[in-house]
């Protein structure tokens, strides 16, 4: 597949396919220095960065300046040889650059053209750029996040970008399946904004159907299920989840207060939600008496869902992560040994070994030779014409 992508959301989506064995070829603009992710600090040297490696391991790169008229035939020859054209540009850009199905179907009727943009390819904001932080605010996420008396707060990670990447990949795979079934390709139009709205999930349903206004809760508490939140132990934090009645009853036994589960004020979900302040005062007091390790052992033995609140470094060293070899490594000539987190998509037994991300335009000659059967003389002529940059 050809990927006109940069920064986070788009490269994250195609990374999942690359990790699963797809040939992902980044088409980088030589006039702008290629993918802007190459230059993101703090761990950056020249056109190499750990940011770029995170999103682009196992891909290839060609340089192509679509502003040059000689580049269009090259693009069309590449489209003939591939299954998909993917982009994460502004919503108006695919059409301007000639990357829609209508503009490419004469070259390859089965081509699937997937656009991931901030706001989609239609509507009043189609020509605007959209970034994760902006969309978290616009889609209501920030109003849901943080302490009740604090300011609106973004997620600690760029979850809209990541979710948009996953959503676009799902759309692309559906389009490819349809093209193989019917012999006809299509456009896929995915936006970060609609992805974020979709991920409001039941809160969005409650708001759209009943006008619900979700309050922010202390300690990252669930909006309606109690207890389902963080608790401070004597020496740290843990998460406790009681999404079933049996878990709440086991929790009361584990903290030495079995009578609490029999109290009519806490007898079911609705009662616990109505009386959450009184219940949480009891639980806060109990958890403060012992260490996090003590509580994690006691709750696990009782069958209560729980987890430590880890730092990032601690999370990467969790026994479960180590057992499943979740952190993988590859060598890079400028960055040395790079350790990244593998895709969670485990499909079959074939696991692609991690490979470094491509240098900008590294595979231009190789791809044009193998995909398009270009001679060295033709490649040289295109290079002289500036199609691959100065």
What digits encode the pLDDT tens for the residues 108-131?
Answer: 999 999 999 999 999 999 999 999
- 24 Cβ partners below 8 Å, 6+ apart? 1, 3, 14, 15, 17, 18, 58, 59, 60
Verify whether residue 161 is a known catalytic residue. Answer: yes
Q: Stretch 193-206: mean pLDDT, rounded?
A: 97
Question: What integer pLDDT is reported at residue 157 of this predicted model?
Answer: 96
What are the E-state strand segments in 134-256?
186-191, 228-232, 237-241
pLDDT tens-digit series, residues 242-287:
999 999 999 999 999 999 999 999 999 999 999 999 999 999 999 9
Tell me phi and psi for residue 332, to 5 degrees: -135, 135
Q: Stretch 131-135: mean pLDDT, rounded?
A: 97
Question: What integer pLDDT is reported at residue 348 of this predicted model?
Answer: 86
| Distance (Å, whole) CA 189 – CA 111 | 14
| Distance (Å, whole) CA 304 – CA 296 | 9
| Distance (Å, whole) CA 193 – CA 132 | 9
Give yes or no for residue 390 having a pLDDT over 80: no
Residue 212 parent element (H or E): none
Which tokens is 221 given?
A: 């508490």
Give yes or no for residue 350 having a pLDDT over 80: no
Question: What integer pLDDT is reported at residue 351 of this predicted model?
Answer: 77
Which tokens is 316 given?
A: 């990467």
Question: What integer pLDDT is reported at residue 108 of this predicted model?
Answer: 98
Give yes or no for residue 104 having a pLDDT over 80: yes
Domain ranges of the chain: 2-199+347-384, 219-309
CB 60 within 8 A of CB 24: yes
Which tokens is 164 given?
A: 């948009």
- 226 Cβ partners below 8 Å, 6+ apart? 242, 269, 272, 273, 276, 279, 280
CB 99 within 8 A of CB 85: yes
Domain 2-199+347-384 annotated CATH 3.40.50.10540:
yes
Q: Decide if 2-199+347-384 and 219-309 have a common fold.
A: no
Which of the following is catalytic: 19, 35, 132, 161? 161
3-state secondary structure of 262: helix
Which fold does the domain 219-309 belong to in CATH?
A: formyl-coa transferase, domain 3 (3.30.1540)
Furthest-apart CA pair in the chain: how many Å?
Answer: 85
């Amino acid at each position: 597949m050809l990927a006109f992508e940069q920064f986070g959301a788009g490269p994250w989506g195609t990374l999942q396919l690359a990790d699963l064995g797809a040939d992902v070829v980044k088409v980088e603009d030589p006039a702008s220095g290629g993918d802007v992710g190459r230059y993101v600090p703090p761990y950056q040297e020249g056109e190499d960065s750990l940011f770029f490696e995170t999103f682009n391991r196992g891909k290839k790169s060609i340089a192509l300046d679509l502003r040059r008229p000689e580049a269009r035939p090259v693009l069309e020859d590449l489209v003939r040889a591939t299954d998909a054209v993917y982009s994460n540009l502004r919503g108006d850009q695919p059409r301007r650059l000639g990357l829609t199905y209508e503009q490419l179907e004469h070259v390859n009727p089965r081509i699937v053209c997937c656009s991931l943009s901030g706001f989609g390819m239609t509507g009043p904001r189609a020509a605007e750029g959209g970034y994760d932080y902006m969309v978290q605010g616009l889609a209501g996420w920030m109003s849901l996040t943080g302490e009740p008396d604090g300011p609106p707060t973004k997620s600690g990670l760029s979850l809209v970008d990541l979710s948009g990447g996953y959503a676009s990949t799902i759309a692309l795979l559906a389009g490819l399946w349809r093209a193989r079934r019917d012999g006809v390709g299509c456009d896929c139009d995915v936006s970060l904004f609609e992805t974020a709205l979709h991920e409001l999930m039941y809160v969005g349903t409650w708001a759209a159907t009943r006008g619900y206004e979700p309050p922010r809760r202390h300690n990252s508490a669930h909006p309606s299920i109690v207890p389902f939140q963080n608790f401070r132990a004597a020496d740290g934090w843990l998460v406790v989840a009681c999404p079933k009645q049996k878990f709440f009853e086991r929790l009361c036994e584990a903290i030495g207060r079995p009578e609490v589960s029999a109290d009519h004020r806490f007898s079911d979900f609705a009662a616990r939600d109505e009386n959450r302040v009184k219940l949480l005062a009891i639980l806060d007091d109990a958890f403060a008496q012992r260490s996090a390790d003590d509580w994690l052992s006691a709750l696990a033995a009782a069958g209560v869902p729980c987890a430590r609140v880890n730092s990032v470094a601690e999370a990467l060293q969790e026994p479960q992560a180590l057992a499943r070899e979740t952190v993988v490594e590859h060598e890079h000539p400028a960055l040395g040994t790079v350790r990244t987190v593998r895709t969670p998509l485990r499909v079959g037994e074939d696991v692609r070994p991690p490979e470094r991300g491509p240098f900008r335009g590294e595979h231009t000659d190789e791809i044009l030779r193998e995909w398009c059967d270009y001679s060295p003389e033709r490649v040289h002529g295109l290079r002289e014409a500036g199609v691959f940059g100065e």
